[in-house]
Structure 1
Amino acid sequence: MSNAIPQSTENGNNLQSRAPLKIAIIGGGLVGSLAALSFARRGHEVHLYEYREDIRTAELVQGRSINLALSQRGRKALAEVGLEQEVLATAIPMRGRMLHDIKGNRTVVLYDPCTNQCLYSVGRKYLNEVLLNAGEKFPNIQRHFEHKLNYVNLTHGRMEFKRAPNKEIVEANADLVVGCDGAFSTMRQQLVKTPGVNYSQEYIEHGYLELCIPAKNGEFQMPENYLHIWPRDAFMMIALPNQDKSFTVTLSMPFKVFDTIRTNEELLNFFHKYYADAVPLIGEERLLKDFFKMPPQHLVSVKCHPYHYGDKALILGDAAHAMVPYYGQGLNAGMEDCTLLMSLFDQPNLSTAEILEQFTELRWRDAHAVCDLAMYNYVEVRK
């Protein structure tokens, strides 16, 4: 057990309602860094393990930086750790979809014409940095970058990591191990080996590539307060606004269509046929460079049940319920996991085992439903 100091909310209410635990969080991405912050605010001793280097000093990897559409459920989770207004201050509101047809005509479909609720475009790297920086204020969070989880003993909370760059083996233990290590989770791999754990995954036939519509003369080239969509039935393109006045563009197509585009001429012919209005926005030179820079990436949908093992282990976010990104709820669902989990930890009459069991029971049906909705929307949004 840890002797971590109690933490309090901004209004002075003590969040520590139980004896502090030593908690290991596997994965320092968005859900992991949020979970670390949430546990630390409740006085627990938190060890955050991340296999990558510190993202705050690392170069952003192209093709892995899909923007995030922050919704109310994500905002609520950020509000509970005091970060909602900081994030919204630089986020760009998206009031609805702007649909681009093949002739270049644009149609606006508002999300909420009655009360004007909207989504917010947020950069993945920026949000991760905000969460990590907030955690720096808590002496009961210890960060361990470049630690890749090799193995975890779920019964005893023992872990083995390989630490870069010399591949040194590091052993650790915790009262509770929380896996926030993404769609290809090592924690989940261990969990599904235990009796009674159901697991399924489905790769979709579409891959994605990231492109960019740069700013022009320091301004957006399209109206910024919309999620832009070029639906083309079998494939599509979307664009989300960035703070630097550019748009992050995601091209999604069946791999068999990607495979037909091998030369510069084939690419330009394809874009002039299906995305003619986007070509002058992206620029032919940049389009050729970005398209052929790396191969299209795969997308997977994951379902799992239960999410916990006894009182020792739990998985959250994409580790528990990865979904295709076309519903815009992957991040929001992961952040909502933290909201639900903390609400249970704030009930002092519940044991850790009861908390984890109730989390699974309260969460798995909703998570499966969102995965299904995301898969359905992946078809619907292309039409």
Structure 2
Amino acid sequence: MQTPKKIAIVGSGLVGSLLAIYLRNRGHVVDVYDRRPDIRKVEFSGRSINLAMSPRGWRALEAVGIDEEIKKIAIPMDKRAIHTPDKPMYYQYYGKEGEAIYSISRGVLNRRMIDLAEAAGARFIFNSKVWDVSLSEATVQVGESEKGEWTPNKYDLVFGADGAFSRVRHKMQRQSMFNYSQHFLDVGYKELTIPKNDDGTHKLNKNSLHIWPRGNFMFIALPNLDGSFTCTLFLPFKGENSFEVLNSEAKVASFFKEFFPDVVDVIPNLVEDFFKNPTSFLVTTKCYPWTYKDKVALIGDAAHAIVPFYGQGMNAGFEDITVLNDLMNLHNDDWSQIFKSYQEARKPNADAIATLSYRNFMEMSNKTADENFILRKKIEAWFYDKHPELWVPLYTRVTFSERSYAEALEFGDFQKEIMDEVMGLEGIEEDWKNEEVEQFILNKLKEKEHLV
């Protein structure tokens, strides 16, 4: 049992709220600060991408007994539904039977998580702007404006869970030997909504993540409990087909009619919503160290914001908490060792999922509709079914296992080398489900001496 501490969490998002539950369950006094108003009392902003909960996330929720409560607001998706211009819509199943990711509205989940954290005894302090943190004293400075008067609030520990543009991290960056980078994609995103049918049902298959791949841009749709779909258009900021070009109602209408004609049929206020909703950026941030002595630690996006194309941002943040909790069990009151081990364990994995997420944009926007890519995935699934002890496909390893992201990246690169050779075999398109192909992969695995 840890000695109770007075702990501040900056940020009431998903990671901050879940961390509050974990810390309260250990008997700590927890205050959660957020510069925004209480999300439960305002309409959500319209700049969201629905979340995809996978086993890493569920494990973190299960450990504090809230997984079943959250499943009530989630919809399982066991497949991709691919919408291409030149063929009927078709499905690509994610994994084996029973394997699914779960679509959850970010706003709905965040509200529920705050409720659960409050029920656990955490105190939420909204409309409270943290402008500075004294790292050595774990004191947060709160005030109305950056140049106004601040009120110091002293704690034993401070966690920065305040997102990609973290104020806590900003203070840590002023230290010497602190490494930080951010990289913006030249692709942005805009949220749209497919409303429910008049009878409350979904207009599209509700157990699928719908993708309209179009090369360097794409449209996706994830289901909501109320029968609607939260949709996201990912599009370059500049260029031939870009947000820069879509600057009039006529151009937007023409663009969707050309590239997403079936979307036009299911979004009645498409053009109006396009201009009403903001265009948002996608950023990857990396930094190190994540902690300061035994006083301050970054967690979730504050430590490692990633682009959303593997659906692992929330799951990675929740896994941070799982690892942190395991280390609290191991080291008890030795917070210096807890923080040191935490950042050493998580940093390589955060970097790995950042790389994988960036790569997956090309897969989702371009390759999902490519015949060679589809064949490659069929061969991998076939070999995985025959030799699960030797081969786990990259997507399965990332999404449906709890093995490390760093390991997934390493094995994924190794498997890609093998599959590149397999796809070069003569006649592979016509005949691949045979002993010759199976033995070829087995020999390649043996050569490399790589086993799962």
| TM-score with structure 2 setting the length | 0.78
Matches within 5 A, 1:226-241: 226-241=208-223
Give, in whole Å, the separation in 2 of the partners of 1:295 and 1:103. Answer: 31
Give, in whole Å, the separation in 2 of the partners of 1:194 and 1:80. Answer: 35
Shift of residue 195 of structure 1?
2.0
Matches within 5 A, 1:198-347: 198-217=179-198, 218-256=200-238, 257-283=242-268, 286-347=269-330
Matches within 5 A, 1:62-77: 62-63=46-47, 65-77=48-60
In structure 1, give the amino acid aligned to 2:283.
V
Partner of 1:57: 41
Shift of residue 326 of structure 1?
1.1
**Does 1 or 2 have the higher relative contact order (CA < 8 Å, sep 6+)?**
1
Does residue 135 (structure 1) correspond to residue 123 (structure 2)? The answer is no
Does residue 20 (structure 1) correspond to residue 4 (structure 2)? The answer is yes
The 3-state SS of whatever aligns with 1:326 is: coil
Question: RMSD of aligned C-alpha atoms?
Answer: 1.5
In structure 1, give the amino acid aligned to 2:43.
E
Deviation string for 1:208-264 (max 9, x for gaps)? 000111111221111000000000001000000001101011000001111111211
In structure 2, give the amino acid aligned to 1:274.
F
The 3-state SS of whatever aligns with 1:230 is: strand
The 3-state SS of whatever aligns with 2:222 is: strand
In structure 2, give the amino acid aligned to 1:41.
N
Of 151, 161, 164, the residue aligned with 2:132 is: 151
Deviation string for 1:96-121 (max 9, x for gaps)? 11110024621200011x34211000
In structure 1, give the amino acid aligned to 2:72.
A
Stretches of structure 1 that go unaligned for 5 or more consecutive residues are 1-16
| TM-score with structure 1 setting the length | 0.91
Of 92, 108, 127, the residue aligned with 1:126 is: 108
Percent of paired sites with the same residue: 41
Give, in whole Å, the separation in 2 of the partners of 1:350 and 1:144. Answer: 27
Partner of 2:355: 372
Asked if 2 retains the 8 angstrom alpha-carbon contact of 1:121 and 1:240, the reply is yes
**Which is greater in Rg?**
2
Deviation string for 1:288-319 (max 9, x for gaps)? 11101144111100111221010010000000
Of 108, 126, 130, the residue aligned with 2:91 is: 108
The 3-state SS of whatever aligns with 2:294 is: coil
The 3-state SS of whatever aligns with 2:202 is: coil
In structure 1, give the amino acid aligned to 2:253.
L
Give, in whole Å, the separation in 2 of the partners of 1:175 and 1:321. Answer: 24
Give, in whole Å, the separation in 1 of the partners of 2:314 and 2:118. Answer: 22
Give, in whole Å, the separation in 2 of the partners of 1:89 and 1:188. Answer: 34
Asked if 1 retains the 8 angstrom alpha-carbon contact of 2:164 and 2:305, the reply is yes
Shift of residue 347 of structure 1?
2.2
The 3-state SS of whatever aligns with 1:281 is: coil
Of 151, 162, 169, the residue aligned with 1:188 is: 169
Q: Give the structure with the larger helix fraction.
A: 2
Asked if 2 retains the 8 angstrom alpha-carbon contact of 1:47 and 1:143, the reply is yes
Q: Give the structure with the larger strand fraction.
A: 1
Stretches of structure 2 that go unaligned for 5 or more consecutive residues are 367-452
In structure 1, give the amino acid aligned to 2:315.
N
Does residue 382 (structure 1) correspond to residue 358 (structure 2)? The answer is no
In structure 2, give the amino acid aligned to 1:33.
S
Deviation string for 1:167-203 (max 9, x for gaps)? 7632201111100000000111111221222111100
Does residue 39 (structure 1) correspond to residue 14 (structure 2)? The answer is no
Partner of 1:160: 141
In structure 1, give the amino acid aligned to 2:188.
G
Asked if 2 retains the 8 angstrom alpha-carbon contact of 1:180 and 1:315, the reply is yes
126-135 vs 183-192, greater mean Cα deviation? 126-135
Asked if 1 retains the 8 angstrom alpha-carbon contact of 2:49 and 2:106, the reply is yes
Asked if 2 retains the 8 angstrom alpha-carbon contact of 1:96 and 1:110, the reply is yes
* Number of aligned positions between the proteins: 361
